[in-house]
Structures are given as structure tokens and as C-alpha cells.
Chains A and B, each alone.
Chain A
Amino acid sequence: MFARLVKESFVRNPRRKLLTAAALVVGMAVTTATLTIALEVGDRLAREFRSLGANLLVTPESDTLPVEIGGVDYRPVDEGAYLKEADLGKLKTIFWRHNIFGFTPFLDVPASASDQQDKSPAPVTLVGTWYEHNVPVPDGTTFKTGVRVTHPWWKIEGRWFADDADECVLGAAFAGRVPGIRPGRTIYVREQGVDGKTAATVTPLMVTGIVSADDAEDKAILVPLSVAQRISGHVGEFRQLFVSALTKPADALAERGERAQYDKNIQLTPTEYDRWFCSPYISSISYQIKTVLPGTDVHAIRRVAETEGRVLDRVGTLLWLVTLAALVAAALAVAATSATTVLERQAEIGVMKALGASNALVNGIFLAEQVLLAIIGGVIGFIAGTALARILGTSVFGSPASPRLILLPIVLALAAIVAIAGSLLPLRRAAHFEPALILRGG
């Protein structure tokens, strides 16, 4: 009988349910969408921050002091320490290997260059690097990385050099000083030795493009790493490694974990250590890199890392507050409309009561209706909200936010609670109705 009453109410007068149902669908859709986005935004924004480029710098530990002005190392090539290119694949074996977004080795070689073979050459720095290089990883796979990932703001006119080919890309400022140079021409380079003497071997390199880096590289010639290694005689070696890693904003634990590495007074408990090691903090990732590349110094590029941490923290809090506001608005909307439905049906309540229904039965029928409505509205709202989150994710971050099934029970429970809460007050009032009065229309 009870079930039939509820069913009849839905079948007989679907229009009356429309407002509450619509409010439920919209409210729950917005709730689902905002929660989905809020859960994902940290990861997504962290990925966006990689457009700032590398946030870790790896250098040889026992290195002499780099004499570097604006990114170009003026140290003679025979001075200082080097790192082994063959070890780089190990970066993709650390605990947080999937957070290693990309890395690029650099080898600067003092050289001289001229645009004609017999012309007197001018001093210039050759910067050996990768544009897109397949790095063999010890587990048998390869990882494609290079300045395309770690220096995404570099703009090229023409095309990049092919890996291992005798080609080069000129920095914009350098290209501006060479009259008539353009992609397709050849540049002749020689190594500049320790004593300032130029080596006898001339290497012709075909110019494939002109790069503007907005940094010291603009004054240099960029060549494939293997070419720089060959010219300098440091085969299989490089001097600096830029690593771009996805990280989590630093907190108190990250700070302690970092300091524990050089400050003997700070000791992490084993649980703290595990938590630190297993969180993608910049300090734990650099620690892990140091373990696979012994003899290196791994620094966080503080400018990038700290800005990222701060902005991510703030945007995260902000978004949770906005999500909270959305939840409140959704609850209010659903509550307000459910209250309306009950009020609308005073006459119905009057009839029920006149026929001898107790207040408990009336409440039961109405609440059962609301819960049913909440479940239907909640499910539709969840589906709509997931679709909405996909659209939002695509337009904000370029890829859809993944649906979270875990949100479905939460959304359903929320919908039911809000719908019941919204109808409780008017039902309490309805309990005091005199059936006769209502039926007469008073």
C-alpha cells in the first residue's frame, strides 16, 4: 500500500516532481563536477607548471667552481668534473620515476666558428644538448626527452638538429652577428683549447635553424650532445643535467627531510622517513636522484620549485573553498525546492489526514518520495557532472578529468540528506494542519 501510494504520486503527477528533480540534478551535477576537478587540479596544475622548465639541476659533486655568466660556462673544457651519459637511464628507475617529466644534459665547449672555411674564426660557445633523444632505460624500454620537454619556451625558426647528425642550431644573438646566415648554410667550428689555442680539426656543421632562448644560449651555437662530445674529446660525458619533475608542494616534513641530509641534529623517525621518501617532494626526488647518480650534487632550482609550491598551495585551498561554496549552494537549492513541493501539496496532505492517515504515515510517504527522487536525481546528476568535469578539464587543462566512481555514493548520500532536510520543516508544519481547514481552502 505504502509503495503503491509513493508510486502513484510519481505516475499521476510527474510535473510536480519536476522542479525538485531538476534542482537535484543540477545541484548534484555541479557537486560532482567541482569535486572531480578539485581532486584533480593539484596534479594537473603541477603538470602545467612544467612549462616553467626544469626544477632540478644536477652537477658533478667534486666540480671546480663554475665560471658561468648568464648560463655559459667559461671554464676551459679540461677543468672540472664530468658526468656519464650512460647513467642517465637510471633516472627512470627511481621510486618516483613516473614523476620524472624529462631531463636534458648539457656540455658547453669553448670554440671558435666562422661561416667560411678560410675566414678568421670568432670565439663562441658550443652548447651540446638533446632536442629529442631516446634514452635507454635499464628495464629495456626507452624514454624520449630533451630540451623540448625541459625548455619548452625556446622558439625555433627552421627545424631542430637531428640527434647525432653534423648539424647545428644558432642562437638568435649569434645569428644576428653573422651576415647572411640562414638555415641550409654551413658553419665551421674548432675547439678552443685550455691555453687559448685553436685546435686544428675543423668540423663543418649544417645550420638547420635559429633558436631564441631569451638566455645565454642566444649567443651560442647549439649542437647535438654527441657532436659536442666528439669535438671536446669528452665522449659519453656531460657537465650539467636539468631535470623537470612533477612534485608536491613542500610542507614541514619535506623541510625536515631535506635538512636531515646534512644536519646531524635532525633525525627522522622510520615512519617519517618512509612518508618523506614516498612523497614526491622535490627534496625526496633529488635524494633519490643522488642515490642513482653517485658523485653528483642535486639542487632544487629554488626559483621554480618555490613559486610552484606556493601557487599550487594557494590555488588548491582556493579551489576547495569554491567547492565548498558550490556544495552549500547545491544544498540550498535542493532544500528550497523540496520545501516548495511539500507546500504545494497541502491539499493532498489534507485528504490523507481526513482519510485517517497518521502524521507518521504522511511523513513516511513524503520522505520516501524525496529519497527516491534524490536517488534518481543523484544518479543523473552524477552522470551529467562527470560529463561536465570532462568538458571543464578539456577546456582548462587540455585533457578530460577522469571520472571518479568513489564520488557516486557521496553524491547520492548528500542528495538524500539535503532533500530530506529540505522537506522536514514544511512537513512539521503540515503536521499541525487541520484537514478540514485545508480542504475548505483556508
Chain B
Amino acid sequence: MMFWRLVFQLLRRSRGRLVVAMLAIVSGAAVISALLNLDLGVQNKLTQEFRSLGANIVISPANGPPTMEGAATPSLMREDEVLHSLQRLQSPQVVAAVPYLYIVARTQDTPVVVTGTWLDQAQKIEPTWKLEGNWISSRDDESHCLIGRAVARQLHLAPDGQLKLDYVNRTTQCTVAGVVDAGGTADNQVFANLHTVQSLANLPGQIGLVQISVSGAPENVADYAARLAAALPSGAQLRPIRQVTEAEGSLLGRIQFLIISMVVLILILTAFCVLGTMAALAMERRKDVGLMKSLGGSISRIMGLFLAEVGVLGAVGGLIGAILGVTLSYWMGLRVFGAAISPRWEIFPVTILLMIVVAMAGALPLRTLGDVKPAVILRGE
């Protein structure tokens, strides 16, 4: 009882000095917790940014038995089988999973690649496409299609134009909903309803490819890919798009490392700051120590008193700082990524603990108090 009353007396009496120490601890804790929270959130946010690279996993028909004959016939897989295994492994990580069927049809006597797909998912799997016209919002819309920029130029088509597609002896027609500027091969293709293309090519229920865009850290993506690969039917095989996964992995690693090293540096600085203020506090306490010793207080008791004082300071400062810091990182997230970074609760105990440790380390000069001669101190030297 007496112990804590003394602690509070000490805290109350030297208010000015404590405000400075508190300020140091609070600002240190705020910076550290903001950066820790940001660092945990950054990977999450950046992997989402990387999704604009499009698919990072594809499922394609498995290679047949080794033979050199029939190389040109495109291999296909069963739509229902593949989609079934995808559905069984539904995960919030999957941004989009879209089936494709490619055929070469003719329009106005020009051969053109026609891609049958789920048009409502186009924007999700290829977020960088620029569109002139309208997106197609329904997966069952068989009357509209999207065309690539080069196709539009070659065939003199604009949104709302009519496109007639011939394949051997079948014909279909669709209204151009929009012209796609993709900066890539998609510029040379026509995108139509999967079902329309399947019936045009007389390949009901067949697809040539599934593109999947999976968000998350590289190891999570690899994990999902492994689980999906195991669940696929025998006619299909999965492969990661290394161009995307490798580059993403290495870039994320570098950015992460950079931020972590910055955080460590700032941590050292903050420790210095708190250390400096605590050392000053200890200096001021010399007189109190002299008095206590002359009144017969044991050194361990006096040290306990001061450590408790410093501990309370660290805990309170750490808590306030952590609240400030998490708010700060929330704001930084809005500023940098346009989306708030949600607070991580584990930040709070970590920051508070860190601040207590740093504050106690700052109180180390108190150790010398053991040598204090009460008479000398009280005389004022």
C-alpha cells in the first residue's frame, strides 16, 4: 500500500519532467505502432494492387500421352468437371476464376480469334482493360460481345455495331457492347458468351483454359494452387504464371524488407529518445534517493519504487501512443492506398511491452543510485 502511495506521490510531484518523458514515450510508441500496423497491412494491400497483373494461376488440359501426331488440335477439358473442383475449393482469396474457349472464326472473310468466356467477370480478371462503350453485366447475355481495339479498327466497328461470326457451317451474331483497349493480344480478339462460342464450334461443355486470379502472400497463393491441383480432374493440369508470381514475390519481399529495416531504425531512435529523458529523470531523483536512504530505506526497495514508476510511465505512454499510432496508420492507409488499414489488436500489447522495456532501460542510470551517499546528496553536491 505504502509502496504504491509513494509511487504516485513521486509521479505527481515532478509533473513537468514527467510530461517530457511521457511525450517522448507517447510519440515513440505512436510512430512504432503506426509503422508496425502499416507493415502488417502493406503486404495485404500490395498483393491486391498486384492483382491488376491479372491471372496468376491457369488450368489447362493435361498433356496427352507422348506422341508427335496431332499436335495442332487444341486440347480441351470438361467445363463442369473443372468448375466443380473450383467450387469445392472456394476461398475468399480467389478474386476471379474464369473459363475460356478459343476458336478461330471468320467475320467479313477475315479470320479472327473468338474467345468464349464469362463476360461479366472480364473486369475482375483484367482490371487494366480500358473500355469504350459498356461492360456486359450478365453472364447469360448471349446477344452482346466485346471486341479488341485492333478488331474494331480492322473491321470498322464501334459500340452498338453488329458482328457476324462464321465457323465452318454455323453462324452467330452479336451486338458490340464495348471496344477493349488491353495493350496486348486481347486487342486482336472478339470476346463472346462462352455458351455461344461452344455451340458455334459445336463443342458443348468444353473449355480450353481457366484463368484464376488469387490474392494473398506468395506462400498463400502457392498453398491454394497446391490444394487446387490436387482436386483437379485427371484431364486438367494447373500451372502458376511464373511471370506474375515470381516478380510479385520478389518485389513484395524487397518492399517488405525495406519497410522493416526502416522500422528497426526508427525503433532504435525512439529508444534513444526515451533513454535520454529517463536518464534526466534519474538525475533529478538523486535527491529523493538521498532522503530515502537517510530515512533507512533499503536500496532494493528504492530501486523497486523507481522501476515501478518508470513501468507505469511506459505502460500508460505505450497505450496512448499505440492508440495514436493505429489511428495514424489508418490515416496513412487512406492516404497511400485509398483504403483504410484495419487496426491489428496484437499491436497494442507489443507496443506497450516495448515501451516498458525501453523505459526501464532508460532508468538504468538509476543503478548508480546505490552508491549515493545520503549526506553528500543532502548537502547538495
Question: Using a CB–CB distance below 8 Å, which chain A residues touch chain B?
Answer: 19, 22-23, 26-27, 30, 33-34, 37, 41, 45, 48-49, 51-53, 57, 64-71, 74-75, 113-115, 119-124, 151, 153, 155, 173-174, 176-179, 214-215, 219, 299-307, 310-311, 314-315, 317-319, 321-323, 325-326, 328-330, 332-333, 336-337, 339-340, 343-344, 388, 392, 395-397, 439-442
**B residues less than 8 Å from A151 (CB atoms):** 243
B contact patch SS: helix
Question: Using a CB–CB distance below 8 Å, which chain B residues touch chain A?
Answer: 20, 24, 27-28, 31, 34-35, 38, 42, 45-46, 49-50, 52-54, 63-64, 66-72, 74, 102, 104, 110-113, 126, 128-130, 150-151, 154, 181-185, 187-188, 209, 239-244, 246-247, 250-251, 254-255, 257-259, 261-263, 265-266, 268-270, 272-277, 279-280, 283-284, 287, 332, 335-337, 377-381
A74, B103: Cα distance in complex, Å: 11
A248, B377: Cα distance in complex, Å: 65
Given contacts A322-B259, A325-B35, contact A332 B265 (CB under 8 A): no
* Residue in A33, A37, A153 with the greatest tally of chain B CB atoms within 10 Å: A153
A30, B45: Cα distance in complex, Å: 27
A23, B279: Cα distance in complex, Å: 13
CB distance from B214 to the nearest CB of A (A): 15
Given contacts A51-B246, A306-B128, contact A19 B66 (CB under 8 A): no
A337, B273: Cα distance in complex, Å: 7
By Cβ-Cβ distance, the 3 closest A-B pairs, closest first, are: A441-B380, A302-B183, A337-B276
A51-B250, A328-B27, A441-B381 provided; 4 other pairs, C-beta below 8 A?
A30-B269, A314-B45, A326-B262, A344-B280
**A residues less than 8 Å from B284 (CB atoms):** 343
The A-B contact count (CB < 8 A) is: 250
Once the chains bind, are B243 and A336 in contact (CB under 8 Å)?
A: no
Once the chains bind, are A177 and B68 in contact (CB under 8 Å)?
A: yes
CB distance from B253 to the nearest CB of A (A): 9
Once the chains bind, are B272 and A51 in contact (CB under 8 Å)?
A: no
Once the chains bind, are A319 and B265 in contact (CB under 8 Å)?
A: no
CB distance from B59 to the nearest CB of A (A): 13
CB distance from B338 to the nearest CB of A (A): 9
Once the chains bind, are B277 and A340 in contact (CB under 8 Å)?
A: yes
Once the chains bind, are A392 and B184 in contact (CB under 8 Å)?
A: no
Given contacts A123-B72, A333-B276, contact A318 B380 (CB under 8 A): no
Once the chains bind, are A336 and B273 in contact (CB under 8 Å)?
A: yes
A415, B247: Cα distance in complex, Å: 40
Across the interface, B49 reaches (CB within 8 A) one of A179, A304, A310, namely: A310
A330, B274: Cα distance in complex, Å: 12
A/B interface sample: 19 pairs, CB < 8 A: A23-B276, A26-B269, A26-B272, A37-B258, A45-B254, A70-B102, A71-B185, A75-B111, A114-B68, A122-B69, A177-B64, A303-B183, A306-B52, A314-B49, A322-B259, A322-B262, A328-B27, A339-B276, A339-B280
Once the chains bind, are B53 and A153 in contact (CB under 8 Å)?
A: no
Nearest B residue to A218, CB-CB? B239
Once the chains bind, are B270 and A333 in contact (CB under 8 Å)?
A: yes
A164, B110: Cα distance in complex, Å: 35
